[in-house]
Amino acid sequence: MKLYRTKVFWFSGLLDEVEPRYPQDYHEPVEMEQRGEGREALQNAFRDCHIAGRDMEVGDIVALDDGSMQRGEASGWTQLPQQLWTARVQQGQGRAK
């Protein structure tokens, strides 16, 4: 799976902030080993990041091996519409630095 980290901490829309946009608001994706499926994989990714000292932040996105995209928010995980995210990734290839 892949982890897309936001460049700036995002408060999950609590302060009427505009949600992060790919590619300008994200670093290059980090490959991670996926352990489990669905919610279990998200919990394991969150735990693995904290154990490794690379804390997962609100706004970070986890792309599971099944193609689903989940954004970590203050209230939990939100599934992103894949077509929208895929279009952003394709438009932003090579510009996310």
Whether the predicted pLDDT of 95 surpasses 60: no
Structural domain contains residue 97:
no
pLDDT in tens, 20-57: 888 889 999 999 999 999 999 999 999 998 887 778 88
Name the pTM for this structure: 0.79
Least confident of 5-9, 14-18, 90-94: 90-94
Structural domain contains residue 29:
yes
pLDDT of residue 97: 47
Domain that holds residue 13: 2-92
Q: Could you please report the per-residue DSSP string of 24-65? A: TTBPPPEE----SSHHHHHHHHHHHHHHTT----TT-EEE-T
Domain count, the chain: 1
Structural domain contains residue 84:
yes
Structural domain contains residue 46:
yes
